[in-house]
Amino acid sequence: MSLSDQDLMPEPEPNEMDPSKQRRETGEPFNVQDLHAPIIREQAEPRDGFEPVPPWMSIFYGILLFWGGAYMALYSGGFRPDVYNEKAIYFGKPPGGADEKADPIAVGRRLYTVNCAACHQASGQGAAGKFPPLAGSEWVLGSPSVLGRILLNGLQGPVSVKGETYNGNMPAFGGRLKDDEIASILSFIRQEWGNSAPAITPEQIAFIRDAVGSRSDPWSADALQSLPAEELPGGDAAAKEENSSTEGSTKKESSGGT
């Protein structure tokens, strides 16, 4: 068998390969991976989220968050509805400053507006047939022990006020307000709208709260009228005598309507 001239030709050296398979610049063989790399890189679709956040933007939002947190801390007042001096709540009293006590009547007026005026009205006249008046009420002017229990535990069922019978539910404030706040409200309503009765102290409310104990049920008018007379701390003899005499009139007038 004869061999053709083509079969007898030796394999060409790398530098003698087909020019179509060599780089134009160097004459070296093509590398498939090198050829595909720029094609793949050029065809990649751009995607969001890969750009780093500019430093100035991070600093700006950091300062903004810090300012917002400081503002809320200074001016939230603990998110209490009765606070009018937010910085005093956050920082407390200034060092070396006088121990100024707020006027309990002014505090009571503000707390009454927030917690009580919706039902008993700003005028203290209540709403006919729905909410009893506080102006001239024998319950307001009567025993501090009875009045304190009403605010601490609430009142449910019929009650006679100034000859009119009201049958509603008064919510309890013992879990929402402190002793000094309850005392301020009661002192305010006992000295507003023409009322004239001794103020009630936080110590007296604390005494009543301890006497009530763990009771959670609201009082009824009958249960309040059946309470024995008790001597509260911090009251003078004149106040006790007035409270005792007014309590007797409360029982007499209320028994006619219940």
Q: Tokens for 77, please give them.
A: 């007042």
pTM of the predicted model, to two decimals?
0.55
pLDDT at 13 over 90: no
pLDDT tens for residues 202-242? 999 999 999 988 888 999 999 998 888 778 887 543 344 44
pLDDT tens for residues 50-97? 677 888 999 999 999 999 888 887 777 666 655 555 555 555 555 554
Residue by residue, what is the 3-state secondary structure of 188-202?
HHHCCCCCCCCCCCH
pLDDT of residue 91: 55
Q: Tokens for 190, please give them.
A: 């006992």
pLDDT of residue 207: 93
Q: Are 133 and 125 in contact (CB under 8 A)?
A: yes
pLDDT at 189 over 90: yes
Question: What average pLDDT does the chain have?
Answer: 76
- Ramachandran region, residue 211 (left: φ > 0; alpha: ψ -120 to 50; beta: rest): alpha
Q: Which segments of 44-137 does DSSP mark as H helices, in order?
A: 55-75, 86-91, 104-115, 117-120
Q: Which amino acid is at 206?
A: A
CA dist 221 and 244 (Å) reads: 17
> Residue 158: which pLDDT band, with cuts at 50, 70 and 90?
very high
Domain assignments of the chain as residue spans, ordered by start:
104-253
Q: How much is the average pLDDT of 108-124?
A: 91
Q: Are 247 and 203 in contact (CB under 8 A)?
A: no
Q: How much is the average pLDDT of 23-45?
A: 62
Looking at per-residue pLDDT, the higher value among 88 and 193 belongs to 193
Q: How much is the average pLDDT of 19-31?
A: 58
- Residue range 104-253 in CATH 3.50.50.60: no
